[in-house]
Amino acid sequence: MKLSGIFRINKGRFILILLMIILAAVIDTLSQYLMTPAFNNLKNLNFLGFVAFMVLSILCDICRLLLNSGSDYLYSKQSQGYLHQIRKKISLYLFKKQIDDTASVQNNLAANLDQLTRNYLKPIKAAFLYGLMVIFSIVVLFSYNWSLVLLTLILTLVSLLLPKAFENMSSNATIEVTKRNEKLLKAISNWINGLDELRRYSSFRIYS
């Protein structure tokens, strides 16, 4: 499975999908950018200006949703065309090799292609969209102040590396909690068994 193979299924549709994704990312960034003048107007008690920018932001969000939905639909058709091509090649291979193992045929034609869709085709589109959104967000931050980009990168690195740094500590703590919970559950079990014995022999005076 190659990206060029998806492109060749329908070149015009693939280019349209790319343009829709890029436009959706641009509009999403614009929608976020419009929040700044909106809140500036609110701070200055210019409610008409605030409402105007909020309406523009909402319109941008609607356009983004329409573009994302449209690109999802077209990309699904593009992916299905590519999978159909792969399915045809697999079928010809199975026919030539005279493979009649039903489970193997079903696995190749259904399960494996579903795996390709989930683990390859869908992540490609998502990675492209989110990558564009990150790039455009960095551009917006640069328009405010370059130090915001640096601060964002530092916070991102910290948020990614900090969990790794405490991974062993949290793992050891989880093991310790599990052991203590096991002791607690054993103690509760012993108490329940003991109370059951007291009930059986009506020896509640000992319990008192």
CA distance 94 to 168: 48
Domain range for 44:
3-145
In-domain check, residue 152: no
> In this predicted structure, what is the pLDDT of residue 149?
72
pLDDT at 208 over 60: no
CA distance 120 to 1: 9
Residues 153-187: tens digit of each pLDDT? 787 777 767 766 666 777 777 777 877 887 888 88
pLDDT band at residue 152 under the 50/70/90 scheme: confident
In-domain check, residue 164: no
Predicted TM-score (pTM) of the model is 0.64
Same domain flag for 197 and 106: no
Same domain flag for 23 and 64: yes
Same domain flag for 140 and 181: no
Same domain flag for 183 and 141: no
> In this predicted structure, what is the pLDDT of residue 5?
73
Q: Shortest CA distance to 133 belongs to which of 21, 15, 14? A: 21
Same domain flag for 89 and 189: no
In-domain check, residue 154: no
> In this predicted structure, what is the pLDDT of residue 21?
92
Residue with the larger pLDDT of the pair 207 and 20:
20
Residue with the larger pLDDT of the pair 199 and 36:
36
Count of domains observed in the chain: 2
CA distance 94 to 105: 8
In-domain check, residue 161: no
Work out the percent of the chain whose per-residue pLDDT is above 90: 14
Q: Over range 49-74, report the average pLDDT.
A: 91
In-domain check, residue 124: yes
Same domain flag for 202 and 121: no
Q: Could you say which DSSP state residue 118 is in? A: I
Same domain flag for 178 and 106: no
Residues 67-122: tens digit of each pLDDT? 999 999 998 888 888 888 877 777 777 677 666 665 566 666 666 667 777 777 78
Same domain flag for 94 and 26: yes
CA 64 to chain centre: 18
Q: Over range 45-66, report the average pLDDT.
A: 90
